[in-house]
Chains A and B, each alone.
Chain A
């Protein structure tokens, strides 16, 4: 991982060291997992579930997204999905749109960052 790549992720509060440690210090694997994240359908499943107000499915998707984000070190996304999980589990449906907005924002940030990261690949 070059400096540019590290900077772009750090800007999005990504816990790069922990994530790479989790991948047994295999930066290449980490890069691959990030690339996979761009095509992962969990986020789109979450959005659909929220739009149709299917809270059980939204909960499952948010939970999965939280785990994924946590493992890859995407801390803001992990926190925002965590909040969404708590909101849905608590049945506080009025607060869900705001929580979803925050998740969407964090997701957009981290996916932008990953794309930049990938563009800096040598």
Chain B
């Protein structure tokens, strides 16, 4: 039995109502509004209707109506107002507050019964309708009800007056998988509640079409548009505060009212699908091109299987050329669809469709097989083919039999693996990188050459270079085109080329169309080029004619490294090589040398400490301004050392001085350089750097002291000389100007003479004098002194007084310091005094000289 609540403060009235209604209803009573609301809150699901008196103490009927209107659940319950007043004001007021019907006192039992029955029936019918029209989960219209409402609105208002929008959560299935269906449902419920409020505010309606697909219709006015834009993020995203999600929106301005609501929705849906997966766009308006594309996609999908069977897909070849010498280094196999009706269809049209529907694997396999067939044919014809690159699509990598298929093909056609290169587009590495890297490694282990395709055309990642052990990097020229010919774009390209090379990858630029681009690429060390500048893709016959004219280069030039250098590991920040470089060697750096140009590529911590400060290092490494703090002369010294190291392939050293930043003091370094790798005209050198400033200062001081001493020695009269006695031989190691002068020579002349013999000027007869004295000196005499004759350069005989003493006595040699004085005048006087003493005459045999 349906439950009815009677609310009247007068007991008699309640009794009468109970008497009238008790046969048909299960009745609950309340004496005032407050009690009534309490009962309603407890029983709102069970109450079929309320009979409400208007005039009551505590809380009157109007207040009860008002409170019920503010509560969604209570607002659903039909209310029959009873009052003794027959005036229109109270009726209007009560009806305005949501009363469903009105009966006056005194009661007429039949009126009250019918009134109650009709209202309950109406509400129940509405509930049933609601259950059909409203989506149980979200509370918005169901698909059918929404389309019905759209039809009504469009019929009543005409073309261009409404916008149909549809939206869904990106990757909602993932949210369901990750957080569970309960959370997923909660999000959908939240969205339903939010969008219902928004569309009702705009006098529009909304519905849930399926899953997480919602749709709404609202007036095509700037105000409505603004309101939607202002609130849509909140409506969609506040439903899941802790979950990072995005959504896509498609809109169709209804300008063809002859379409069914479902077709209108389809148009909004197509617009929405056009932004799916885009990073920077989440909203699109429908235009006719979208529909045409869809129709075209459907046509292509319908025909693709038959086209494959009928061999409508052809493989064309685009040559790859070494711009340095014009030789052909390979070709890329590209697919074309020769459609019997539409003619040649560009891959730009059908490849994206095949990528979406998964047919790409079938097509790729066809291309791989045709390519292998061609290579086999060329070998059989004795043509000595260059390698051909084939594309591997992202979807292919997830096929378990990929490696088996490719290996099977090269085996079946008996071609070597180096002739079939494999191109994997860079965007493939954006997701599921681990898996793709694993597959790439397996292919490399099996001997295939891997190329990273389209690098620079999308959101290129340096991680791709780091993680993927590919052989060739195919640089997309779109990167340069997009950034213009500014320094920035050029610098980045140069850096990418360099980075790729130093980790052992060859770089090939594709999409090169102008000589200007080719010249630039050449200037940054990228000689391998593919593009319209050299050749367009062409069928086999044209390709063979093209190849015939060119010299062939079957292997791409790659990095040459010193033995045991693992170049990838060398650049890997986590490798043992890096650990050693950073922690276990002294100050070291890696520099690149190219055409007299030096650039620092890498330094370790000790280098930073030794060289001074990071500021200095940053100055040093400033792009295109390398080694700035070196003076021109030291720069030359360093360059000379580096070029010598390149020539000899051995370690070469040099000393350079560097001024610290904000510091006038010069620091002296000993640089030892050795080549570790080379590619084309670029060389990579490993340099160790030692701070030898202290030693340098000592040496400088010594040199200065020596200079002063020499000056002093040269300025005194008489000669000074230092001899070395070693293994029974005596040689002269130092003599001053005075010594040479005494003998009648210049210092340069005596240099030549002394090489022949130390004793070349001494009279033979007087040899014994110096020999005896030398024996005495070596025997322990502290100082010896003797006089003997010498013959000067001019043939003149002179008497020399020679005084000598040992200045150092080492194990292997003894150094003797000698002072000479020309005593000829004194001796001549003595001879004049005693002419009989022939020993003091100077007329005997001259010296050896």
Residues of A within 8 A of B (CB): 18-19, 21-24, 26, 29, 33, 36-37, 40, 42, 60, 63-64, 66-68, 70-73, 78, 81-82, 85-86, 89
CB-nearest residue of chain A to B112? A22
- Could you list some 26 contacts between A and B, CB below 8 A? A19-B106, A22-B16, A22-B19, A22-B20, A22-B106, A22-B107, A23-B19, A40-B10, A40-B11, A60-B57, A60-B60, A63-B83, A63-B84, A66-B84, A66-B85, A67-B10, A67-B13, A67-B55, A67-B83, A68-B12, A70-B105, A70-B106, A71-B106, A72-B12, A78-B106, A86-B87
Contact B9 A64 (CB under 8 A): yes
CB-nearest residue of chain A to B54? A63
B235 nearest CB across to chain A (Å): 45
Report which of B9, B19, B60, B84 forms a contact with A70, defined as CB distance below 8 A: B84
Q: CA–CA, A63 to B82, complex, Å?
A: 12
Task: Enumerate chain B residues within 8 angstroms of A60, measured Cβ to Cβ.
Answer: 55-57, 60
Interface centre among A21, A36, A67, A70 (most CB of B within 10 A): A67
Since A22-B106, A60-B60, A66-B85 are in contact, a sample of 14 more A-B pairs with Cβ atoms closer than 8 Å, ordered by chain A residue number, is: A18-B106, A22-B20, A23-B16, A24-B20, A24-B109, A33-B16, A36-B12, A40-B11, A67-B53, A67-B84, A67-B105, A71-B105, A72-B12, A85-B85
B31 nearest CB across to chain A (Å): 12
B15, CB-defined interface residue at 8 Å: yes
CB contact list, B81-130 vs A, under 8 A: 82-85, 87, 105-109
CB-nearest residue of chain A to B57? A60
Contact A21 B9 (CB under 8 A): no
B718 nearest CB across to chain A (Å): 142
CB-nearest residue of chain B to A85? B85
CB-nearest residue of chain A to B20? A24
Task: Enumerate chain A residues within 8 angstroms of B9, measured Cβ to Cβ.
Answer: 64
Known contacts A63-B84, A67-B84, A67-B106, A29 near B15 by CB under 8 Å: yes
Q: How large is the interface on B (under 10, 10 to 19, 20 to 34, 35 or more residues)?
A: 20 to 34
Task: Enumerate chain B residues within 8 angstroms of A81, measured Cβ to Cβ.
Answer: 84
Contact B57 A22 (CB under 8 A): no
A22 nearest CB across to chain B (Å): 6
CB contact list, B27-75 vs A, under 8 A: 53, 55-57, 60
Report which of B10, B15, B19, B106 forms a contact with A64, defined as CB distance below 8 A: B10
Contact B19 A29 (CB under 8 A): yes
Q: CA–CA, A22 to B85, complex, Å?
A: 18
Task: Enumerate chain B residues within 8 angstroms of A36, measured Cβ to Cβ.
Answer: 11-12, 15
Known contacts A22-B107, A22-B109, A68 near B55 by CB under 8 Å: no
CB-nearest residue of chain B to A81? B84
Contact A40 B12 (CB under 8 A): yes
B22 nearest CB across to chain A (Å): 9
Task: Enumerate chain A residues within 8 angstroms of B53, measured Cβ to Cβ.
Answer: 67
Task: Enumerate chain B residues within 8 angstroms of A89, measured Cβ to Cβ.
Answer: 87
Interface centre among A21, A64, A68, A82 (most CB of B within 10 A): A64
Interface centre among B10, B11, B106 (most CB of A within 10 A): B106
Q: CA–CA, A64 to B60, complex, Å?
A: 12
Task: Enumerate chain B residues within 8 angstroms of A66, measured Cβ to Cβ.
Answer: 84-85, 105
CB-nearest residue of chain A to B85? A63
Contact B106 A73 (CB under 8 A): yes
B359 nearest CB across to chain A (Å): 79
CB-nearest residue of chain B to A74? B106
Q: CA–CA, A86 to B86, complex, Å?
A: 10
Task: Enumerate chain B residues within 8 angstroms of A22, measured Cβ to Cβ.
Answer: 16, 19-20, 106-109
Q: CA–CA, A19 to B15, complex, Å?
A: 13
Task: Enumerate chain A residues within 8 angstroms of B106, measured Cβ to Cβ.
Answer: 18-19, 22, 67, 70-73, 78
Interface centre among A18, A19, A22, A29 (most CB of B within 10 A): A22
B423 nearest CB across to chain A (Å): 90
Task: Enumerate chain A residues within 8 angstroms of B20, measured Cβ to Cβ.
Answer: 22, 24
Q: CA–CA, A89 to B57, complex, Å?
A: 17
Task: Enumerate chain A residues within 8 angstroms of B105, measured Cβ to Cβ.
Answer: 66-68, 70-71
Q: CA–CA, A63 to B108, complex, Å?
A: 18
Q: CA–CA, A81 to B60, complex, Å?
A: 19
Q: CA–CA, A72 to B107, complex, Å?
A: 10
CB-nearest residue of chain A to B110? A21
Q: CA–CA, A70 to B55, complex, Å?
A: 15
Task: Enumerate chain A residues within 8 angstroms of B15, measured Cβ to Cβ.
Answer: 29, 33, 36
Task: Enumerate chain A residues within 8 angstroms of B87, measured Cβ to Cβ.
Answer: 86, 89
Contact B109 A33 (CB under 8 A): no
Q: CA–CA, A11 to B108, complex, Å?
A: 23
Q: CA–CA, A33 to B17, complex, Å?
A: 12
Known contacts A21-B109, A66-B105, A85-B85, A26 near B19 by CB under 8 Å: yes
B634 nearest CB across to chain A (Å): 105
CB-nearest residue of chain B to A34? B12
Q: CA–CA, A37 to B16, complex, Å?
A: 13
Task: Enumerate chain B residues within 8 angstroms of A72, measured Cβ to Cβ.
Answer: 12, 106
B489 nearest CB across to chain A (Å): 83
List of 3 A-B pairs having minimum Cβ-Cβ separation, nearest first: A67-B84, A70-B106, A67-B105
Q: CA–CA, A19 to B19, complex, Å?
A: 12
Known contacts A22-B106, A66-B105, A70-B105, A33 near B12 by CB under 8 Å: yes
Task: Enumerate chain A residues within 8 angstroms of B83, measured Cβ to Cβ.
Answer: 63, 67
Task: Enumerate chain B residues within 8 angstroms of A70, measured Cβ to Cβ.
Answer: 84, 105-106
Q: CA–CA, A29 to B15, complex, Å?
A: 9
B346 nearest CB across to chain A (Å): 85
Known contacts A29-B15, A64-B55, A66-B105, A42 near B85 by CB under 8 Å: no
CB-nearest residue of chain A to B55? A63
Contact B107 A24 (CB under 8 A): no
A100 nearest CB across to chain B (Å): 17
Task: Enumerate chain A residues within 8 angstroms of B84, measured Cβ to Cβ.
Answer: 63-64, 66-67, 70, 78, 81-82, 85
B108 nearest CB across to chain A (Å): 8
B84 nearest CB across to chain A (Å): 3
Task: Enumerate chain B residues within 8 angstroms of A19, measured Cβ to Cβ.
Answer: 106
Task: Enumerate chain B residues within 8 angstroms of A33, measured Cβ to Cβ.
Answer: 12, 15-16
CB-nearest residue of chain B to A18? B106
Report which of B57, B60, B85, B107 forms a contact with A71, defined as CB distance below 8 A: B107
Task: Enumerate chain B residues within 8 angstroms of A40, measured Cβ to Cβ.
Answer: 10-12
Task: Enumerate chain A residues within 8 angstroms of B19, measured Cβ to Cβ.
Answer: 22-24, 26, 29
Contact A71 B16 (CB under 8 A): yes
Q: CA–CA, A67 to B103, complex, Å?
A: 11
Task: Enumerate chain B residues within 8 angstroms of A21, measured Cβ to Cβ.
Answer: 109
CB-nearest residue of chain A to B86? A82
Q: CA–CA, A81 to B86, complex, Å?
A: 13
Task: Enumerate chain A residues within 8 angstroms of B13, measured Cβ to Cβ.
Answer: 67-68, 71
Task: Enumerate chain B residues within 8 angstroms of A71, measured Cβ to Cβ.
Answer: 12-13, 16, 105-107
CB-nearest residue of chain A to B82? A67
A32 nearest CB across to chain B (Å): 8
CB-nearest residue of chain B to A19? B106
Q: CA–CA, A81 to B84, complex, Å?
A: 10
Contact A37 B12 (CB under 8 A): yes
Q: CA–CA, A66 to B82, complex, Å?
A: 12
CB-nearest residue of chain B to A82? B84
Q: CA–CA, A81 to B106, complex, Å?
A: 13
Q: CA–CA, A80 to B341, complex, Å?
A: 97
Q: CA–CA, A29 to B109, complex, Å?
A: 15
Task: Enumerate chain A residues within 8 angstroms of B12, measured Cβ to Cβ.
Answer: 33, 36-37, 40, 68, 71-72
Q: CA–CA, A98 to B12, complex, Å?
A: 28
Contact B57 A68 (CB under 8 A): no
A14 nearest CB across to chain B (Å): 12
A38 nearest CB across to chain B (Å): 11
B126 nearest CB across to chain A (Å): 30
Task: Enumerate chain B residues within 8 angstroms of A24, measured Cβ to Cβ.
Answer: 19-20, 109
Q: CA–CA, A86 to B87, complex, Å?
A: 9
Q: CA–CA, A65 to B87, complex, Å?
A: 16
Task: Enumerate chain A residues within 8 angstroms of B10, measured Cβ to Cβ.
Answer: 40, 42, 64, 67-68
A110 nearest CB across to chain B (Å): 13
Q: CA–CA, A75 to B138, complex, Å?
A: 54
Provide the B1-27 mask, 1 if CB < 8 A to any CB of A, else 0: 000000001111101100110000000
